[in-house]
């Protein structure tokens, strides 16, 4: 610690403070005597106090605000709390509460966090990045706020997403908080209500587009990589055309990925692998139908295709197992309104609506990525149950209010036979004396471990094999007991162990693929390297 700091400096520095846990000796040597109550608390006692106060809050958004304030004043205590009580805290700092937090971001704003880029910064982004106080940034999560969860264009209010994702990088995988940088590309918003809101904090203009947009993103990427050469850049909540466009623009040249496309794909594939174990049907033989054909759904399809090819199918035969339905009906070759990413899945088949397609195709797995609540109706689930002993149902849309169906509905309408997973958390359901534990197919199972593994390997880029590796690792951590409870994912309380194993396997995959920048000595001890990189929040 720096000797010329005052006691008050230590107390108000979120990264350095221990608050009431400073020892007697520290209070004497650091000028803290008289500035704290008499008792010297342990960190465990502080966690208990925080939990008691948080639980007094009457609603989740107030708990979110309370936890954000804790993060601002005592970083280590915040991450200790989150990591030790992840099942209770993650729904408060991320989905589903983060959706409301983003909608209300400008109204609940307390202190700035993260880095903002606007069109007015064009030509000076690299210089402006020097204002960020940390030099050793390893992970950037960046959004432009145009497609926040299933809530649409929230403009600069979408900064809540990068902030929340990076909190999970630290809590779930041990990336040090100082190595995390949330970024908002505030290029305007087409949400007129936001622009009319006198409290709105963003760039109050319509969104820039086309070459004007791309050149600004290019400048930011170049500036970020010049300032932080080894940084991993995670794209988050971009509108589908931009999500695919930016991923394809950078994926082979820099260390980056799109969590909505590739992270969602890996966590969904892991769930399907686990479902394959439960039903006894090999992945290559499964027919999988998607309701929704945006970036998340087609990203899952692309990775499933690679996984099926790894099990011996040709590309053509793998794609024939994957069917997509959008708001216009089944994605078929005769349609002239499809986007480029849909074309590989446009089968030579008769046009039909969703329910008719279910009857015609008899999918083993139904995956919802619509952002439209209630689209898995009683009729839909009953149809799935009529031609499957164990219908596999993924209601992945976030937040909870956008889920295609609830866990209780899936179990009730399938006579308790469904294997159900969702993007947001649902409580266990007791039906006819049996407890069903719905798995949460949350990307937090995947992206922190991939990020940690990429950092450990000093990877140059992230090919699809990395995401296959992460999915297989996650699926392999699902136990027989998990499956007997109906859960397709490990318990969330084990997520730090899950992230560590994914990181080890991802880093080893990078070494095998020749995309790691490690000495032979470093490569020989990947598990030790990963463990050494994991921050432990303690005093």
C-alpha to C-alpha distance for 307 and 184, rounded to whole angstroms: 34
Q: Are residues 118 and 187 in contact, defined by beta-carbon separation less than 8 angstroms? A: yes
How buried is residue 131: exposed, middle or buried, by Cβ count under 10 Å (0-12/13-18/19+)? exposed
Residues near 20 by beta carbon (within 8 Å), at least 6 away in sequence: 36, 37, 39, 40, 41, 46
Whether 165 is catalytic: yes
Q: Extract the tokens encoding 278.
A: 């439960």
- Of 10, 64, 94, 535, which is the active-site residue? 94
Residues near 412 by beta carbon (within 8 Å), at least 6 away in sequence: 431
- Could you identify the residue written with the tokens 């149809």? 383
CA nearest neighbour of 393 among 323, 405, 319: 405
CA dihedral 255, 260, 263, 269 (to 10 degrees): -140
Q: Are residues 187 and 122 in contact, defined by beta-carbon separation less than 8 angstroms? A: no
CB neighbours of residue 524 within 10 Å = 11
C-alpha to C-alpha distance for 267 and 147, rounded to whole angstroms: 20
Phi, psi of 356 (to 5 degrees): -65, -40
Handedness of CA 305, 310, 316, 318 (dihedral sign): negative
C-alpha to C-alpha distance for 50 and 40, rounded to whole angstroms: 16
User: SS3 sequence, 153-215?
Assistant: CCHHHHHHHHHHHHHHHHHHHCCCHHHEEEEEECCCCCCHHHHHCCCCCCCCCCCCCHHHHHH
Q: Are residues 196 and 104 in contact, defined by beta-carbon separation less than 8 angstroms? A: no
Helix (H) or strand (E) holding 420: strand 419-422
Whether 63 is catalytic: no
Q: Are residues 225 and 142 in contact, defined by beta-carbon separation less than 8 angstroms? A: no
- Of 18, 63, 138, 165, which is the active-site residue? 165
Side-chain half-sphere CA neighbours of 288 within 13 A? 35
Cβ-count burial 73-86 (b if 16+ within 10 Å, e if not): bbbbbbbbbbbbbb
Whether residue 399 is preceded by a cis peptide bond, meaning omega within 30 degrees of 0, is yes
Q: How far apart are the first and last CA of the chain?
A: 13
If you ran DSSP here, which 8-state letter would residue 494 be given? G
Catalytic site positions: 94, 165
């Amino acid at each position: 610690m720096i000797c010329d700091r005052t006691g008050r400096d230590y107390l108000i520095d979120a990264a350095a403070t221990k608050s009431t846990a400073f020892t007697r000796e520290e209070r004497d040597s650091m000028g803290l005597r008289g500035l704290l109550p008499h008792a010297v608390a342990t960190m465990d006692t502080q966690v208990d106090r925080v939990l008691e106060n948080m639980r007094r809050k009457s609603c989740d958004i107030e708990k979110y605000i309370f936890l954000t304030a804790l993060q601002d004043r005592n970083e280590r205590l915040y991450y200790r709390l989150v990591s030790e009580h992840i099942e209770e805290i993650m729904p408060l700092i991320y989905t589903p509460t983060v959706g409301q937090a983003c909608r209300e971001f400008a109204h609940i704003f307390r202190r700035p966090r993260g880095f903002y880029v606007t069109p007015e910064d064009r030509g000076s982004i690299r210089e402006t990045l020097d204002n960020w106080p940390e030099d050793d940034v390893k992970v950037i999560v960046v959004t432009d706020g145009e497609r926040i969860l299933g809530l649409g264009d929230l403009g600069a209010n979408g900064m809540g997403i990068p902030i929340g994702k990076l909190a999970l990088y630290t809590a779930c995988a041990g990336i040090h908080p100082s190595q995390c940088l949330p970024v908002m590309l505030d290029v305007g918003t087409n949400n007129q209500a936001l622009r009319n809101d006198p409290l709105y904090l963003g760039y109050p203009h319509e969104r820039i587009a086309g070459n004007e947009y791309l050149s600004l993103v290019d400048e930011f990427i170049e500036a970020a990589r010049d300032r932080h050469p080894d940084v991993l850049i995670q794209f988050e909540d971009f509108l589908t055309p931009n999500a695919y466009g930016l991923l394809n623009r950078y994926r082979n040249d820099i260390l980056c990925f799109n969590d909505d496309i590739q992270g969602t794909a890996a966590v969904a594939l892991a769930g399907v692998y686990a479902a394959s174990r439960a039903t006894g049907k090999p992945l290559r033989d499964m027919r999988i139908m998607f309701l929704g054909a945006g970036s998340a759904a087609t990203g899952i399809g692309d990775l499933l295709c690679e996984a099926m090819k790894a099990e011996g199918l040709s590309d053509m035969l793998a794609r024939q197992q994957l069917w997509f339905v959008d708001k216009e009906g089944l994605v078929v070759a005769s349609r002239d309104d499809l986007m480029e990413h849909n074309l590989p899945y446009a089968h030579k088949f008769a046009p039909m609506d969703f329910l008719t397609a279910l009857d015609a195709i008899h999918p083993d797995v139904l995956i919802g990525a619509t952002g439209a609540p209630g689209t898995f109706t009683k009729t839909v689930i009953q149809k799935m149950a009529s031609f499957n002993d164990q219908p596999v149902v993924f209601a992945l849309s976030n937040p909870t209010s956008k889920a295609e169906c609830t866990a209780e509905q899936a179990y009730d309408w399938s006579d308790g036979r469904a294997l159900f997973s969702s993007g947001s958390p649902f409580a266990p359901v007791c039906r006819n004396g049996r407890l069903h534990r719905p798995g949460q197919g949350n990307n937090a199972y995947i992206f922190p471990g991939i990020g940690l593994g990429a950092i450990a390997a000093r990877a140059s880029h992230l090919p699809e094999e990395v995401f296959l590796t992460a999915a297989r690792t996650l699926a392999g951590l699902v136990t027989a007991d998990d499956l007997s409870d109906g859960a397709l994912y490990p318990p969330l309380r084990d997520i730090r162990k899950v992230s560590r194993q994914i990181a080890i396997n991802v880093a080893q995959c990078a070494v095998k693929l020749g995309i790691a920048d490690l000495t032979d000595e470093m490569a020989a001890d990947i598990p030790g390297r990963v463990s050494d990189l994991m921050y432990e929040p303690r005093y």
